[in-house]
């Protein structure tokens, strides 16, 4: 029997992926750019064992067994990495052996915290390690077929997913823009408003946008190309104000398209909108752009902020969204992660701040290095 254990990070899109040109191959209609987060605070952890003695492929996600053979996205990933192993002539583990996969997130699944991105990236990365397949662009085309955004989690730092033009999707790959070391003081506060399963999944929401939104094609043709180019320039120059403006505008535009969808996809709630107002008035009050929000398909806010400005921002968040209790994050028990959160008087506790019905907790993390292998037996 052979086994590997790996972890893979969450990534947060800055220019959002929204809409597919091919459902099964998961080919997007536009390029997207994301930042990979540190694995200490948020990650998926996957162990895969392969043995001659296993009768069936089996998988457990957060302790619940999934029907592997009926899960087309999962099977595409498994078959895809096995195909690459065959092409590479890798003989490390026999391809005829069945696999047992156990995966866990250290944060709630489907909370709009990109759990599927970390999960599929971890699955594909672990399979690649098991079979001795190189971690490269071609591998990102397999992760993409698990969940589109997963292809960006195979790299650390800032990552661009190129939509590509070919029908077979071979040019729809993720590529690093810059490594985490380029902008190491780029931090993120995730203000968790709600960690329950979202109403409309990203997959369903974007299908509905593709057929009903009248704005979506305008975004693809007229907005995204210039925006991705400008964002890359801002990242390369470590220009936070330009980075922040693009980030906030793209989040707003993505949610405008979600609302232009019919029936509309409403992902942000009143607290999310209060956070938007708060960030703009915070930047205005201090006379400098020091914080930038972005929201994926859920109500939780990701706030980009440079390390030197974190403590001041956290103190302000606590003032506006008061809290009177601090508790440890229950779901962190399931995985061996160490919380490396800066301790500041305003940030009472290790990982979280419980705010009266407004914020459930705050996760403090930063730009990270991408997936890694923990063990190999
Ligand atoms: C709003 O990658 O979860 O987070 O490809 O259907 O699995 P599927 O969708 P998914 O969509 C992510 C959408 C987003 C924006 C982004 O991450 O770019």
Walk across the sheet containing 301-306 and list its strands. Answer: 292-294, 301-306, 186-192, 361-366
Nearest to 243 by CA among 42, 38, 12: 12
Q: Of 10, 13, 17, which is best to mutate to test ligand 1, by the most ligand atoms within 8 angstroms of its C-beta?
A: 17
Whether 117 has a pLDDT exceeding 90, the answer reads: yes
**CB of 290 closer than 8 Å to CB of 307:** no
Whether 331 has a pLDDT exceeding 60, the answer reads: no
Whether 103 has a pLDDT exceeding 80, the answer reads: yes
Whether 262 has a pLDDT exceeding 90, the answer reads: yes
Q: Is 296 close to ligand 1, i.e. is its CB under 6 Å away?
A: yes
Report d(CA 198, CA 267) in Å as an integer. Answer: 8
**CA of residue 158 to ligand 1 center, whole Å:** 16
Q: Is 116 close to ligand 1, i.e. is its CB under 6 Å away?
A: yes
Q: What mean pLDDT is predicted for residues 306-331?
A: 70
Count of other CB atoms within 10 angstroms of residue 328: 12
Q: Is 198 close to ligand 1, i.e. is its CB under 6 Å away?
A: no
Phi, psi of 159, deg, nearest 5: -135, 140
More confident residue, 350 or 162: 162
Share of the chain above pLDDT 70, in %: 87
256 — pLDDT class (breaks 50, 70, 90): very high
Q: What mean pLDDT is predicted for residues 174-180?
A: 98
Q: What mean pLDDT is predicted for residues 268-288?
A: 92
Note the pLDDT of residue 271.
87
Token pair of 294 as six digits: 């972005």
Q: Is 16 close to ligand 1, i.e. is its CB under 6 Å away?
A: yes
HSE-CB for 361 with a 13 A CA cutoff: 18
294 — pLDDT class (breaks 50, 70, 90): very high
Note the pLDDT of residue 343.
34
Q: Which atom of ligand 1 is nearest to the CA of 112?
A: 4
340 — pLDDT class (breaks 50, 70, 90): very low
Nearest to 154 by CA among 224, 238, 77, 227: 77
Share of the chain above pLDDT 90, in %: 73
Note the pLDDT of residue 40.
86
Whether 305 has a pLDDT exceeding 50, the answer reads: yes
Token pair of 136 as six digits: 């490269």
Q: Which atom of ligand 1 is nearest to the CA of 206?
A: 6
Most confident listed range (229-233, 334-338, 347-351)? 229-233
Whether 356 has a pLDDT exceeding 60, the answer reads: no
Q: Which atom of ligand 1 is nearest to the CA of 120?
A: 7
More confident residue, 327 or 146: 146
**Average model confidence (pLDDT) across the chain:** 88
Considering Cα of 299, then 305, then 308, then 313, what sign does the dihedral take? negative
Whether 235 has a pLDDT exceeding 60, the answer reads: yes
Q: What mean pLDDT is predicted for residues 111-128?
A: 87
Lowest mean pLDDT segment, chosen from 18-27, 156-165, 335-344: 335-344
Report d(CA 269, CA 290) in Å as an integer. Answer: 24
Report d(CA 240, CA 354) in Å as an integer. Answer: 29
Note the pLDDT of residue 192.
85
Note the pLDDT of residue 296.
94
Q: Is 159 close to ligand 1, i.e. is its CB under 6 Å away?
A: no
Tell me if the bond preceding 263 is cis, omega within 30° of 0. Answer: yes
Phi, psi of 295, deg, nearest 5: -125, 130
Note the pLDDT of residue 357.
52
**CA of residue 73 to ligand 1 center, whole Å:** 14
Q: Is 32 close to ligand 1, i.e. is its CB under 6 Å away?
A: yes
Q: Is 207 close to ligand 1, i.e. is its CB under 6 Å away?
A: no
Note the pLDDT of residue 328.
32
360 — pLDDT class (breaks 50, 70, 90): confident
Whether 353 has a pLDDT exceeding 50, the answer reads: no
- Tell me the residue length of the chain: 377
Report d(CA 272, CA 286) in Å as an integer. Answer: 21
Whether 188 has a pLDDT exceeding 50, the answer reads: yes
Note the pLDDT of residue 199.
79
Q: Is 3 close to ligand 1, i.e. is its CB under 6 Å away?
A: no
**Strand 301-306 versus strand 323-325 pairing type:** unpaired
Q: Is 294 close to ligand 1, i.e. is its CB under 6 Å away?
A: no
Q: Give the per-residue SS3 of the chain.
A: CEEEEEEEECEEEEECCCCEEECCCCEECCCEEEEEECCCCCEEEEEEEEECCCCCCEEEECCEEECHHHCHHHHHHHHHHHHHHHHHCCCCCCCCCEEEEEEEECCCCCCCCCHHHHHHHHHHHHHHHHHCCCCCHHHHHHHCCCCHHHHHHHCCCEEEECCCCCCCCCCCCEEEEECHHHCCCEEEEEEECCCCCCCCCHHHHHHHHHHHCCCHHHHHHHHHHHHHHHHHHHHHCCCHHHHHHHHHHHHHHHHHHHHHCCCCCCCCCHHHHHHHHHHHHHHHHHCCCCCEEECCCCCCEEEEEEHHHHHHHHHHHHHHCCEEECCCCHHHHHCCCCCCCCCCCCCCCCCCCEECCCCCEEEEEEECCCCEEEEEC
Note the pLDDT of residue 248.
98
Q: Of 144, 202, 302, which is best to mutate to test ligand 1, by the most ligand atoms within 8 angstroms of its C-beta?
A: 202
* Close Cβ partners of 223 (under 8 Å, ≥ 6 residues apart): 253
Closest CA to ligand 1's atom 11 = 202
Q: What mean pLDDT is predicted for residues 127-154?
A: 97
Using one digit for the tens of pLDDT, what is the confidence trace for 14-40? 999 999 999 999 999 999 999 999 998
Q: Is 13 close to ligand 1, i.e. is its CB under 6 Å away?
A: yes
Using one digit for the tens of pLDDT, what is the confidence trace for 45-92? 999 999 999 999 999 988 899 999 888 999 999 999 999 999 988 777
* pTM score, whole prediction: 0.90
Q: Is 160 close to ligand 1, i.e. is its CB under 6 Å away?
A: no
Whether 336 has a pLDDT exceeding 50, the answer reads: no
């Amino acid at each position: 029997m052979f086994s590997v254990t790996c972890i893979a990070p969450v990534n947060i899109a800055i220019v959002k992926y929204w809409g597919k040109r091919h459902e099964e191959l998961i080919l997007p209609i536009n390029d997207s750019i994301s930042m990979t987060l540190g694995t200490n605070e948020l990650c998926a952890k996957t162990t895969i064992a392969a043995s001659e003695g296993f009768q069936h492929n089996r998988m457990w996600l957060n302790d619940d067994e999934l029907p592997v053979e009926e899960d087309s996205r999962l099977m595409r990933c498994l078959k895809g990495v096995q195909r690459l192993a065959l092409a590479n002539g890798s003989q490390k583990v026999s391809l005829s052996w069945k696999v047992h996969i156990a995966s866990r997130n250290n944060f709630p699944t489907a909370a709009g915290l990109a759990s599927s991105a970390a999960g599929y990236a971890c699955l594909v990365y672990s399979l690649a390690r098991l079979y001795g397949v190189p971690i490269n662009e071609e591998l990102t085309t397999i992760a993409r077929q698990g969940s589109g955004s997963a292809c960006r989690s195979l790299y650390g730092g800032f990552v661009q997913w190129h939509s590509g033009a070919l029908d077979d999707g071979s040019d729809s790959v993720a590529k690093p823009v810059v490594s985490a070391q380029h902008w190491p003081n780029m931090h993120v506060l995730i203000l968790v408003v709600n960690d329950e399963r979202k109403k409309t999944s990203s997959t369903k929401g974007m299908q509905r946008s593709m057929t009903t939104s009248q704005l979506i094609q305008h975004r693809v043709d007229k907005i995204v190309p210039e925006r991705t180019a400008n964002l890359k320039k801002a990242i390369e120059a470590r220009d936070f104000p330009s980075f922040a403006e693009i980030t906030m505008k793209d989040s707003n535009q993505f949610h405008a398209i979600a609302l232009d969808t019919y029936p509309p996809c409403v992902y942000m709630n009143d607290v999310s909108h209060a956070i938007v107002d708060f960030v703009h008035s915070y930047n205005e009050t201090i006379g400098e752009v020091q914080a930038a929000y972005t929201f994926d398909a859920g109500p939780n806010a990701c706030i980009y902020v440079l390390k030197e400005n974190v403590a001041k921002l956290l103190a302000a968040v606590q003032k506006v969204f008061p809290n009177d209790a601090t508790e440890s994050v229950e779901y962190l028990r399931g995985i061996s992660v160490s919380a490396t959160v800066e301790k500041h008087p305003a940030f009472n506790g290790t990982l979280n701040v419980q705010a009266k019905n407004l914020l459930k907790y705050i996760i403090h993390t930063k730009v990270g290095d991408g997936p890694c292998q923990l063990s190999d037996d």
